[in-house]
Structure 1
Amino acid sequence: MTPIFFREWALIKSLEELCSSKINNSSSCLSFDQSQFCFNFRFHQYDLLLSILAKTKFLDVSGSLEFTKNTTDRVNDSYYTLKNVQPSVNGLNFVSVLNFIDSGNWRAPVTESVIIWPGYSLRAPVDRAILRGVNLLVGIIQATPFTMVRNVTDDNGYTTIQYTGYIPDLIQLLVDQIGFNVTFIVAPSNQSYAQIIQSVNKGTYDIVVGDVTVTASRRKTLDFSSAIFDNSLCLMIRKTSDESADLLAFLRPFSRKLWMLALCTCIYAGILICLIERADNEHLQNRPIISQLILSIWYCFGNIVGYGVEFNATTAAGRFLTVGLYILSLILVASYTANLASDLTIAKTQFVISGIDDIKNGEIPMNRIGIRVGTASEDFFKTEITGGAQNYYPLKTRQQLYDSLLSGVIDVTLSDSGIAEYAVNSIYCNLTIVGNYFDTTAFAIVTPKQWLYAQDLDVGILSLKESGKIDNIRQKWFQAQHCPDSTATTTTTTAIEIKAISGLFLIFAAITFISLLLFLWAKRHNIKNHLSQFISKIEPSTTESHSMKRNSNRYSEHAQNYQTVWSKSIES
């Protein structure tokens, strides 16, 4: 058989001779009979071309190339030489090590030369091609925490590109293990995963390393290495309240200080009612002081919570104080009811779904489900959920996925479990994973079909797994948790503080002060009489005190005089 190139060259030489002949000077040498169908086209100089082609003869790399009229095969045997690329002082030498003649087998040349195998070895490899020393163009896909790319400027002002994450660490382990050379190429962010991995067949990359899922459809055109990351699909949604039952949840609308202030206000108002009404209200008369006080506090409590009490205020001051209680009740009860309803509504809110079965059963509209285009999750969704229909909400990038979920454009999205766990634990604390994982798969390195170094790469990956190094880098990048634990009591309180309604209590304090003034004004005559009686009691006691003092002075003087007279009589 003749190589295609030399067949084409023979045809070209024949056409050249045909077109240069004198017979065809008057017309085109490349004229055809036109037809509607391309296979019915007929070359006018067909017979002459075959005659010239049979006489064509030239020398190619496989020997003399010549044909005859009776056969389409070349007359002479083909001749090939196998050369070995060997290093030398002056560069590379191409040394002939085997010859081949068409009718025979490969034979050593007269001057026999040894074959230098990769690694400068004289021993032929018995198992596989090795990657050591091979330069690879490695395509990487930016996806936190698998691959993160950033520019780093040193003290001298030089900027370099730094690659961090699970994939760069894995590649470095493989480089240390196998010994190949790496040139990183970051895949364009506007390309889908399907487009990126097909670039391997186009020669853009030698291999692609990233969060690429192994699927049956992809294996038709590409090969994959051993698994580098165990993966599953999961559902990611916005986080809602998942706190355990709280027996005192009904107290949450008000802060603890506000509850204490409300209680003290009720007791304070009860004391005032007892003071104002105890003398004039028949329900409080003829009762012990403790009973009067308790009944007065009950009266204030009933008016604050809006529950009817057994008696009404009879004095102007008591009624005015009751108005203050009504105002206090109006604001406190309304605020409590509104805040409690809000808290209960939030607490009652559950996840919109519990797992993949809810999506299959149509619990969520398809246009509220976000799917990244060109990913394995899209293949799964089309195959298992929609039957090939593309009625979901399409997403082009992972950032668009997060933004759409957080802003409420979509309610749920499918994501790879590794990336989803990292996102909800370290970046997006108000997102969460719901339900069980499904569609267990694996990430692997994308390689061309029947890649020469596939076995060597697989052996290196398996060696890293057995040594536990892959588990170590997985723990390094995926076990970190920067978001607070959802089970911890770190939720933001919505309780109403004193500051929010401090004006209400100031108004009530003013009302109680006015009520107290009204009470004092109504009792002014009694107060005046009591003051008069009190003063009158004080005056007699003062007069009596002065009289006793005068008598005491007189007695002292008389005794002193008697003592003087007695002393003189004794002296005489």
Structure 2
Amino acid sequence: MALSDFYASHPYYKTRLRLNIRDSKRDVVGAAAAALYLIKNGEVKAIIGPQNSMQAKFVINLGKKAQVPIISFSATSPSLTSLWSQYFFQIAQNDSSQVKAISAIIQAFGWREAVPIYVDNTYGKGIVPYLIDALQEIDARVPYRSVIPPSATDDQIGQELYKLMTMQTRVFIVHMSCKLSSRLFIKAKEIGMMREGYVWIITNGIANSFSSIEGSVIDSLQGVLGIKTYVPETKELENFAIQWKRKFRQDNPNIINAELGVVGLWAYDAIFALAQAIEEVGFTNIGSEKTNASSNLTDLETIRVSQNGSKLRDALLGVRFTGLAGDFNLVNGRLQSSTFEIINVNGNGERKIAFWTPENGLVRKLNSANTSTYSTSKNNLGPIIWPGDSSSIPKGWEIPTNGRKLRIGVPMKHGFSEFVKVTLDPNTNKTKVTGYCIDIFNAVMETLPYAVSYEFIPFAKPDGRSAGSCNDLVYQVFLGNFDAVVGDTTILANRSDFVDFTLPYTESAVSMVVPLEDSKAKNTWVFLKPLSWDLWLTSSCFFVFIGFVVWVLEHRINKDFRGSRLHQIGTSLFYGFSTLVFSHWEQVLSNSARFVVVVWVFVVLILTQSYTASLASLLTVQQLQPTITDVHQLIKNHEYVGYQENSFVLGILKEMNFKTGMLRPYNSTNHCNELLSMGSANGGIAAAFDEIPYMKLFLANYCSKYTMVTSIYKTDGFGFVFPKGSPLVADVSRAILKVIEGEKMRVIEKAWLGIGTNCPDSNTQCLGYKHK
């Protein structure tokens, strides 16, 4: 049809394309033999074919050697382009062009993992590197690759699917032949993998052939999403489809409802392009040259080289026209067409839900005015019916169905056991794990909207000792030995290169704790300190002045204020100072004097009460101040400082220029207290450096002796550790926020860390005598 249509529309062309057909019998060797025969004996100027990517690999090399263009409209594997032949033309969408559309769908729904299921041949494996790269760009992981042999039996397919069921990932990308995929989906439905919660995405190799899939297979594809090549609807395509169906029915009267796929349209356009290129070249000299005339050489060594092959190649690269499949434009021998339809299998057929373009991403309609930026929003997708006839968006993962509990690694600690404590129950001989971090993790898992089975496994050697540092424990998750780590594990940048952390559930930063000392020493003259010297002097003057005023007002009428001059002076001074203790026995007679005395006694009352309160405070309340507040002063004075054993804090202190010999480890709160009490000069330490949660625990026990003065290093706090890309991270992080904001967090902190309780070692200060 393509040849007749082309020359009917170009009757003035001088050249005519004649087809020389050779059957490859769907075999790789057969394809190579057919191509060799056509080049050597048929002296063809171009080969249209082969049919698939496996056949194309050897045929491409033959075409390169003979300089005969190889034009394929159905070999789509990206691996064929790595052969780099100027004589190979891929008149079909390269499989790598659809990986961005697949990743856009996965990103739209926030799925973090996907498993490719592909056939074990050139066609299946060719897309995998490009697909993994596209998924990594959106931070989606590929935890497993499911490879199906081309000749796999139904039992082998079922065995592989059962393996997938035991994994937590529920997003699968299927890339294989239409025939093999039909068997796979039938088996998937049979074992229960086409129910609610699963996500299946088929590539365009399957979606483009959807019209040829039997109805029984379509029933197994319900809810599947597909990437399908977009073919513009034109009047020419509509007329051609009518003509093709009429001719197909004449040639195949027993086949009903046949549909022409996009591969047929590519084949039609390929014939048009080749006929146009041949007319441009003209073929004035149609001969070929033998590379070697020796009779002892093989057919491959005596293959003929086309004299006009390079001209035909250049002519094909320059062909431009609008074909039935869209714009025909070859760049580096590959068809440039990258628009895809997103389909959803529902009922008896497919339903178009969106488009994907390299410029705009996911769009509801093409040529829309609101597509100025690249979008991966699920709002641009139409309604989707998911497997299991569900309208709820699958979360993309489930707890594995093999019954295996999550293996949670916990550190084996011999100090600070309030955070994690591992004990062996002598009655049951089973390990028991408790502590602050464990209670928080249990509370978080109870908050999740679904049940998760897990068990705590100590990171320990057979003799019960720790098997390594915190970094070693975290690395076990990367190696796959643990499914998660729960403990006092700090979120650090270098650790996040290998694992994912949840949101922190504790405060962050590394702080310094130092001893307290009383800044105001008690001595014999402490009774003078409640009042300032100017107030002492002013008060004394007023006592004398009040005595003088009372004498002036009373000595004429009151005999108590008469007598000798010395007696009158003594009486006046005694009366003035006796108002301090209200013990004066002289009586005043005049109203003026009484008024003065009443006012002055009130002033004295205020003064004495203030003095008493201030003196009591000085004698009984400690004026505590930290012994040191500057880290650099510790370094300058060559003071010994402490850090928790096996902690990353050691590295921080070394980076701050603390000498290794000045650093002393501690392994518990009691040990830290002992070192601080001894002091740097007596074999102890002047300050302790640790993370805030440890310091809070320490201060809860020794709050009257020490204080936290400064933060020297910013951290993100404690977090739970999961493998890279684990879907549990997001749900657990949300659950952590709920626990932190609730009352349960305060109960756990009070139970394990003592936060919120009174200081256990506070005591009342007694009075004493200190001579300086």
Structure with higher helix content: 1
Q: Which has the higher contact order (CA 8 A, sep 6+)?
A: 1
Q: Mark the structure with the bigger radius of gyration.
A: 1
